Amino acid sequence: MSTTPATFDESELVSKARAGDAAAFSDLVNRYQNKIYRLAKHITQNDEDAEDVLQEAFLKAYEHLDGFQGNSRFYTWIVRIAVNEALMKLRKRKGDRFVSLDEPVETGEEQVKREIAVWDDNPEQQYSQEEMRAILDEAIETLKPDFRTVFLLRDIEELSTEETAETLGISIPAVKSRLLRARLALREKLTRKFKRKGEDVFANL
């Protein structure tokens, strides 16, 4: 007789963790640590910094668990902490030309003239899923930090526009503008990568 795996209940684990159940918090860490590490690695582009961000984010979450009001998902909260830690790592690096996420941005109302990337053949016909993911990851790493972070939260972590805005402390129009610019930049880079016309790569990832 097969057994059904226990359903992951984030809110229940958070309640237990707030009550002092260390095992419950460990379950939350185990659930999200890979995602948080991958997010931190994309932002910092450094393995050691990503490890530091992962540890610091969960340590701060544990220390301030009583302050978590539950108005958003725990995952959204830990993402916000991790993003702040990762951005602080970037700001501390000497010589980095970093655009602050608090800096005003255009809302995307202007005309953006770009050639939308298309290719003759489906890229997956020549690349495996893992190779496609590696190609996309490489392209993501070339984005400006502010655009890259928004793209990661919206299109990789699949946070909503509202959650992304809340996490980064910016407006919803700013999220939409940066996401548009990130997607356009990625399409341009992937166009140069594949150098052919056809189906949009984003539809296959």
Q: 41: Cβ–Cβ under 8 A, 6 or more apart, which residues? A: 47, 50
Same domain, 86 and 47: yes
Residue 45 lies in a domain: yes
**Structural domains of the chain, count:** 2
Query: Alpha-carbon distance 63 to 67, whole Å?
Result: 9
Domain encompassing residue 128: 123-204
Residue 3 lies in a domain: no
Question: What pLDDT, on a 0 to 100 scale, did the predictor assign at position 116?
Answer: 33
The per-residue pLDDT for range 146-179, each reduced to its tens digit, is: 899 899 988 888 888 998 888 888 899 999 999 9
Same domain, 130 and 76: no
Same domain, 88 and 15: yes
Same domain, 135 and 78: no
**What six digits make up the tokens of 122?**
């489906």
Looking at the predicted structure, is the pLDDT value of residue 187 above 50? yes
Same domain, 73 and 136: no
Q: Which residue has the tokens 């996309």?
A: 136
pLDDT band at 129 (very low <50, low <70, confident <90, very high): low
Share of the chain above pLDDT 90, in %: 26
Question: What pLDDT, on a 0 to 100 scale, did the predictor assign at position 82?
Answer: 92
CATH code at 35?
A: 1.10.1740.10
Same domain, 73 and 142: no
Share of the chain above pLDDT 70, in %: 72
**DSSP run (H or E) holding 55:** helix 47-63
Among residues 199, 52, 201, the alpha carbon closest in space to that of 134 is found at 201
Same domain, 151 and 86: no
CATH code at 198?
A: 1.10.10.10
Pick 101 or 18 by higher pLDDT.
Answer: 18
Q: Are 89 and 53 in contact (CB under 8 A)?
A: yes
Pick 80 or 127 by higher pLDDT.
Answer: 80
Residue 5 lies in a domain: no
Residue 118 lies in a domain: no
The per-residue pLDDT for range 25-51, each reduced to its tens digit, is: 999 999 999 999 999 998 888 899 999
pTM (two decimals)? 0.64
Question: What pLDDT, on a 0 to 100 scale, did the predictor assign at position 112?
Answer: 35
Residue 32 lies in a domain: yes
